[in-house]
């Protein structure tokens, strides 16, 4: 069975898609770094950073709407920053009791929270543009090119390859469960018995399925390793030497890095 819907890559023809994967990878990481290093309150810089990622979204043909919808998936993680709104000292804005505690929402705290939220929102957008416009193997090549340890890159590759197989297996398990989860007519003898079993029983079934999936994954990893050994794998990850980055892409890389560097410098000098 094929599971494609997990793959974020959207095959389109655009200058962003055509750009060398290594350049895209480095620029995306540099963008995220710039976003996280830009000091608190440097709102104009954030606006400029947003305009950069927006241009990439439009240029890539993915569309702003597409990226924003995907970025919404990362929203729950922003909630982790909510305590900031209450713990930062400053002008109290709103006070309310929560059980034995008195919570004080400060204006500074709220701004800090907004700042963290904007940072993660911008970073996620850059990551989405990267993943949607670059095929996974090009991402792996890029990681290798920037000297991320080969073993780690090989593990990412294997994870990606078998993610689809595992999801397929999980779906088959769930389908097999659904196929046997028909609700019969309630027997007269036990009219109050709930169809579908108790929550505890269903929890047990789900736990069993998770365990089953884990065991299958372990078994499969054994078989894959044997298949690798059979073709000469000796513990060292080998691959071809990569081609040099074309000059045009190099120029894009340096311009992009210079732009991000300037934004960071400006932000640090004025607001730092």
Partner 1 sequence: MHHSIEVKELTFSYPDGHPALRGVSFSIAAGEKVALVGPNGAGKSTLLLHLNGILRGQGSIAVCGQALTEATLSAIRSAVGMVFQDPDDQLFSLTVFDDVAFGPVYQGLPEAEVRGRVEQALAEVGMSDRAARVSHHLSGGEKKRIAIATVLSMQPEILALDEPTSGLDPRARRGLIRLLGELPMTMLVSTHDLRMVRELLPRTIVLDSGLIVADGPTTEVLNDPDLLQAHGLEMP
Binders of partner 1 among residues 172 to 201 (CB under 8 A) are: none
Query: Looking at 48-56, 84-92, 232-240, 242-250, which segment touches partner 1 (CB under 8 A)?
Result: 232-240
Report CA-CA distances (Å) from 103 to 65, 89, 90, 117: 37, 12, 13, 21
The C-alpha atoms of residue 263 and residue 52 are separated, in whole angstroms, by: 11
Q: How many CA atoms lie within 13 A of 36 on its CB side?
A: 9
Question: Which of 99, 196, 232, 247 lies at the binding interface for partner 1 (CB under 8 A)?
Answer: 232
Question: Which of 66, 86, 160, 271 lies at the binding interface for partner 1 (CB under 8 A)?
Answer: 160
Q: Which is nearer to partner 1, 114 or 165 (CB)?
A: 165
Q: Is 233 in the site for partner 1 (CB under 8 A)?
A: yes
> Which residue matches tokens 């505890």?
200
Question: Which of 36, 55, 91, 239 lies at the binding interface for partner 1 (CB under 8 A)?
Answer: 239
Q: Is 151 in the site for partner 1 (CB under 8 A)?
A: no
> Phi-psi category of 197—alpha, beta or left, where left has phi over 0 and alpha has psi -120 to 50?
left
Q: Is 136 in the site for partner 1 (CB under 8 A)?
A: yes
Q: Is 10 in the site for partner 1 (CB under 8 A)?
A: no
Least distance from C-beta 258 to partner 1, angstroms?
33
| 136: CB partners within 8 A, 6+ apart | 7, 9, 160
Question: Which of 4, 147, 180, 192 lies at the binding interface for partner 1 (CB under 8 A)?
Answer: 4
Contact mark string toward partner 1, 197..226, x via CB under 8 A = -----------------------x--xx-x
Write out the DSSP string of 74-104: THHHHGGGTHHHHHS-S-EEEEEEETTEEEE
Query: Looking at 53-61, 136-144, 188-196, 197-205, which segment touches partner 1 (CB under 8 A)?
Result: 136-144
Least distance from C-beta 243 to partner 1, angstroms?
11
Measuring CA to CA, which residue among 85, 148, 74 is closest to residue 114?
Answer: 85
Buried b / exposed e across 49-69, counting CB within 10 Å, b at 16+? beebbeebbeebbbeeebbee
Q: Which is nearer to partner 1, 201 or 225 (CB)?
A: 225
Q: How many residues does the chain have?
A: 272
* Binding site residues, partner 1, CB under 8 A: 2-4, 136-137, 140, 157-158, 160-162, 164-165, 220, 223-224, 226-234, 238-241
């Amino acid at each position: 069975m094929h599971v494609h819907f997990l793959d974020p890559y959207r095959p389109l023809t655009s200058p962003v898609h055509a750009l060398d994967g290594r350049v895209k990878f480095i620029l995306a990481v540099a963008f995220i770094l710039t976003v996280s290093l830009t000091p608190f309150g440097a709102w104009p810089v954030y606006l400029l950073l947003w305009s950069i990622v927006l241009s990439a979204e439009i240029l890539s043909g993915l569309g702003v709407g597409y990226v924003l919808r995907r970025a919404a998936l990362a929203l729950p993680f922003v909630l982790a920053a909510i305590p900031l709104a209450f713990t930062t000292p400053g002008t109290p804005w709103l006070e309310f009791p929560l059980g034995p505690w008195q919570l004080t929402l400060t204006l500074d705290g709220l701004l800090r929270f907004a700042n963290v939220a904007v940072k993660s929102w911008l970073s996620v957008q850059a990551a989405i543009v990267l993943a949607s416009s670059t095929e996974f193997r090009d991402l792996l090549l890029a990681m290798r090119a920037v000297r991320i340890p080969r073993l780690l890159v090989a593990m990412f590759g294997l994870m990606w390859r078998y993610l689809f197989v595992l999801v397929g297996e999980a779906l088959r398990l769930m389908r097999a469960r659904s196929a046997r989860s028909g609700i019969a007519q309630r027997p007269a003898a036990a009219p109050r018995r709930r169809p579908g079993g108790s929550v505890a029983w269903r929890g047990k079934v789900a736990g069993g399925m998770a365990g089953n999936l884990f065991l299958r994954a372990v078994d499969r990893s054994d078989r894959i390793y044997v298949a690798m050994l059979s073709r000469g794998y000796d513990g060292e990850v080998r691959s071809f030497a990569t081609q040099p980055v074309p000059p045009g892409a190099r120029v894009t890389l340096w311009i992009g890095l210079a732009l991000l560097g300037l934004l960071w410098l400006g932000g640090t000098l004025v607001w730092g």
